[in-house]
Amino acid sequence: MALSQPEIIFYGPLINPKSVSSFQALPKCLLAVGASGNIDWIEEHVHESALQDVLAHRGSLNVSFIRLKHGEFILPGFVDTHTHAPQAPNTGSGQQYELLDWLKEKTFPMEARFVDVDFARRAYDLIVKRIIDSGTTTCCYYGTLHLEATKILADVISKWGQRAFVGKCNMNRNSQDDYVEATVSGSINATHALISHIRALPPPRLVEPVLTPRFAISCSGPLLSALGDMARADPSLRIQTHISENRNEIHTTLKFFPEATSYADVYDRHGLLGPRTILAHAVHLEEDEIALVKERNAGVSHCPTSNFNLRSGICPVGKFIDRGIKVGLGTDVSGATSTYADKQLPLSALLHLATVGGAQVCGFDALLVSVRSDTGNPGLWSADLDQELQVGVAGGKVLEAWLERFFFTGDDRNIRRVYVQGRWIGGAEGEL
Ligand code: GUN
Ligand code: FE
């Protein structure tokens, strides 16, 4: 695949998230991306008449220049803090079940198929590209328990140029016979092998390994302890797992770990709860657990679509934000039916959670979004219809209105280009 070279200048509207409660909407922005793929400079208010002067002053007259059309804008890329790549073929199916039955009846049987590396290669190639075209520039992936298939997942992500964290599930109990790890040492050795594989991928190094104890029910105490030891030995390793998603799950967890005072305590006492931990769901945490998560500075991946579809409950995400807990959005495919970011909170909070809330990194990871009618999305009221009917936008907040329309009625047709580290890697606008 030909990756386009960075060193581009964009001229047009830019949406810049600032915090949970605010974002900047800059209608006439000049944004330069350097050869490294990082943002070199931004000029926030540049009128047409001053454009040539600013470019000349910056010494940027010969750089590739993209002038956005009416109805287009630049938005930071989406960060999906929790998804299961091998569950994508199950999307939309099995939602008559709640969590534990759903895992048994639908999820584990599908994941078991990834023992077949040819299937894994074909499936992951399609799945990762779909996720990129949905505007996800950074993604935290669970693979399966298989080392070889998860190496393939990392290879495919690296090939497509997405920024990602990739983990092989650790799971040595409570699963079907052909989809469970036999020994703690086997699980740990395979995890080391995956980490080495990912760290040896060719540049640009945008894929990182992440320890992935599936959830407490899937892991024996010794397995959790061994993973805790790995995390302690390597401070650059992140950890992802599930927590307090479903009442029956919590009850079962506490039965398997009778010495623990809570679900969060299970992870804490095995050295798995810290600033590098991403906890998916966290729907039913008790007050003492919320305090512990905050104290350990762990982050929560809020997965609203999945929580709704599997009837897990409503995550008190507003409370977490108020308490200063780090929160990002997760799709949790295939608990969720969509790879798009979700949408319930005020616009500024949605933007924050979908983008910088989950982000650590700061290359140019962005989307060129269009709310024009030529995107072919009939459900979205387009900027050209505003012009045709001379509809004004209340308060002149045109860019905010476009963003809102995109969030609530947009889809992958409106994501024209997807950039990661300055490289154009996907989107609806034709072949690369
Ligand atoms: N808990 C353990 N495994 C899973 C999974 O694959 N999906 C969800 N939603 N919860 C889990
Ligand atoms: Fe999940």
How much is the ipTM here?
A: 0.99
Angle of helix 398-409 relative to helix 347-354, nearest 10 degrees, comes to: 60
Q: Which atom of ligand 1 is nearest to the CA of 142?
A: 6
Higher pLDDT, 422 or 344: 422
pLDDT at 391: 83
Range 264-283 average pLDDT: 97
The answer, yes or no, to whether residue 337 has pLDDT greater than 70, is no
Residue 29's DSSP bridge partners are: 12
Range 106-114 average pLDDT: 97
pLDDT at 341: 46
The answer, yes or no, to whether residue 3 has pLDDT greater than 70, is no
Q: What percent of the chain has pLDDT over 70?
A: 94
Q: What CATH number does the domain located at 78-358 have?
A: 3.20.20.140
Which run of H or E residues covers position 426?
Answer: strand 423-426
61-65, 324-328, 378-382: least confidently modelled range: 61-65
Tens of pLDDT, residue by residue over 408-428, are: 999 999 999 999 999 999 999
The answer, yes or no, to whether residue 72 has pLDDT greater than 80, is yes
Cα–Cα dist 367/370, whole Å = 9
The binding-site residues of ligand 1, defined as CB within 6 angstroms of any ligand atom, are 84, 99, 103, 107, 214-215, 242, 245, 306, 332, 335
The answer, yes or no, to whether residue 268 has pLDDT greater than 90, is yes
Residue 246's DSSP bridge partners are: none
Instruction: Give residue limits of the domains in the chain.
Output: 8-76+363-426, 78-358
Q: Give the Å distance between the CA of 165 and the centre of ligand 2.
A: 14
Q: Give the Å distance between the CA of 242 and the centre of ligand 2.
A: 6
CATH architecture observed for domain 8-76+363-426: Roll (2.30)
The answer, yes or no, to whether residue 362 has pLDDT greater than 50, is yes
Residue 65's DSSP bridge partners are: 9
pLDDT at 340: 46
pLDDT at 346: 81
Domains 8-76+363-426 and 78-358 share a fold: no
Q: Which amino acid is at 104?
A: K
Q: Which atom of ligand 1 is nearest to the CA of 84?
A: 6
